[in-house]
Amino acid sequence: MAAGDKQQLIKPISQRQFELYALSLERGPNFEPSHIFSAYQVGRGSACGCILLDPERGAFTTLAMRRRVDHLWVRIDEAGPFSTPEAALDHLSISMRGGEPPEPLPPGARRRPPLMQSGARGVSPEFELLAGTVSHVPALMAVGECYLALPKPDANFVTDLQTNNFASRLFELYLLACFREQGLIVRQDHVSPDFWIEKDGAECWIEAVTANSETPRAGGIGDWVHAPQDRRERLTGAPAERFAKTLRGKLQRNYHEMEHVEGRPFAIAIADFHESGSMVWSREALPTYLYGLRADVEGEGAHRRAIGTSIANLTGKHGIPAGLFRDPDFAHLSAVIFSNAGTLAKFNRMGFLAGWRPPGLEMIRRGILFDRTPGALEPIDFELTVGSDEYQSLWPWGEAWCQELEVFHNPQAAHPIPFDLIPGATHWFERDGDVECSTIWANSVLASITHLRMSGEPATPPEETKHA
């Protein structure tokens, strides 16, 4: 096929769509000091590529990727510099090799199981929602690309995602996207912990876990569960105990004593899926347990202020000691990483913003933003259409994977995690007896619900958007 014929197969795609494909690259869609000038794919996606511009040199380079026979992306060409984008596109149109068969498996490589091929155990309602509804096509595309970007998923990954461990596996995909988005090298060379991340010489081992109840399919599609009305119960009662039992259960496995982990930073990443809707309101219980400080308010009117009240025990039925980070026996735990965004709502928004938009689908995100005004004690309400200019302007680069990621640092950590390792997260740390935070985001979403509407249909109610 002549070069001109190949170029006819190329169509432009959005930068965000290419960035989703580029999660498969070792450092994700990060090309500093260059940035994406334009992006393309061949046909329905057998190959893709981008033109990069180095603003300092005024030079253009190209990067091309092709699908493997098991659909994984493989980087196959980098070239340049070129003096003009036209010259770069001429090269890219040839290097993507449109019309050729997929790339072969490397010798000894295991073919990755197809995400959409269900097994003998069938599929859960959550996976059926993901794979079988038009309103979740954006999420399906985003989940699929994140699955293909995993360095080495275990043999049970697809079966788990399709059945009762849907939430846990989705959380792992979310973490991968967060890490790669920030330019981290992510590896899965050992069975556990789940991830090793590295950037500029800093590293950390991370084990992912979800706080589930003891019932099958906890946190799946079902009746929406609201927060306890009593504030102390919400902060120090059953939600806090659930976090405590989950974290202590993981710590009993002594990951820090493994040869490949010993002497290195180690963190546990946790999400709460114990009930449908729990992640919207249970977050406050986690730092209460970790630091042994309950957030209270004192004073009246203009004199109201937040204070931290020390607590010795949680108030649930088990009376678990509060302050995991106060216990020197857990100094090997560098931090606890948390997010309430490892949900289908997040994947649906990110796929939608990347360009997979079924005709007539509209997304409305409603929630609360952290108010950074000095002395402010209440959040800011928002309700915006996903993809609108106003929604995009909340953040400098639009919505990112890592914006809801939080890192709670252990003040007694034997091997602390530098903030720069996960720069896009909100970092919580102790200073002079107070717990403070640092973030690059002016607008941080504390909790939200994404309503879906197809043309001519009413918006989905909240109880249907826990995984929506």
Please report the pLDDT score of residue 460 as a whole number.
60
pLDDT band at 330 (very low <50, low <70, confident <90, very high): very high
* Whether the predicted pLDDT of 165 surpasses 60: yes
Minimal CA–CA distance to 64: which of 104, 17, 97?
97
Please report the pLDDT score of residue 130 as a whole number.
95
Q: What is the pLDDT of residues 280-293, one digit of tens each?
A: 778 899 999 999 98
Minimal CA–CA distance to 405: which of 217, 253, 244, 206?
206
Contacts of 330 (CB under 8 A, 6+ apart): 251, 324, 410, 412
Please report the pLDDT score of residue 231 as a whole number.
81
Cα–Cα distance for residue pair 130/467, rounded to 1 Å: 9
Please report the pLDDT score of residue 334 as a whole number.
98
The whole model's pTM is what? 0.92
Query: What DSSP assignment string belongs to 263-295?
Result: TS-EEEEEEE-SSTTGGGT-TTHHHHHHHTEEE
Please report the pLDDT score of residue 296 as a whole number.
73
* Whether the predicted pLDDT of 353 surpasses 60: yes
Please report the pLDDT score of residue 375 as a whole number.
63
Share of the chain above pLDDT 70, in %: 88
* Whether the predicted pLDDT of 28 surpasses 70: yes
pLDDT band at 391 (very low <50, low <70, confident <90, very high): very high
Please report the pLDDT score of residue 218 as a whole number.
46
Share of the chain above pLDDT 90, in %: 73
* Whether the predicted pLDDT of 214 surpasses 60: no
Cα–Cα distance for residue pair 352/362, rounded to 1 Å: 9
Compare 283 and 364 and report the one with higher pLDDT. Answer: 364
Q: What is the pLDDT of residues 418-448, one digit of tens each?
A: 999 999 999 999 998 889 999 999 999 988 8
* Whether the predicted pLDDT of 6 surpasses 70: no
Residue 138 is inside which H or E element, if any? helix 137-149
Q: What is the pLDDT of residues 169-206, one digit of tens each?
A: 999 999 999 999 999 999 999 999 999 999 999 999 99
* Whether the predicted pLDDT of 465 surpasses 70: no
Q: Please, what is the angle between helix 125-132 and helix 137-149, to 10°?
A: 100
Please report the pLDDT score of residue 25 as a whole number.
98
Cα–Cα distance for residue pair 172/269, rounded to 1 Å: 9
Please report the pLDDT score of residue 459 as a whole number.
58
Q: Please, what is the angle between helix 344-353 and helix 125-132, to 10°?
A: 10
| Mean pLDDT for all residues in the chain | 89
Q: What is the pLDDT of residues 105-160, one digit of tens each?
A: 999 888 999 999 888 888 999 999 999 999 999 999 999 999 999 999 999 999 99
Quote the radius of gyration of the chain (alpha carbons, Å).
23
Contacts of 160 (CB under 8 A, 6+ apart): 166, 168, 169
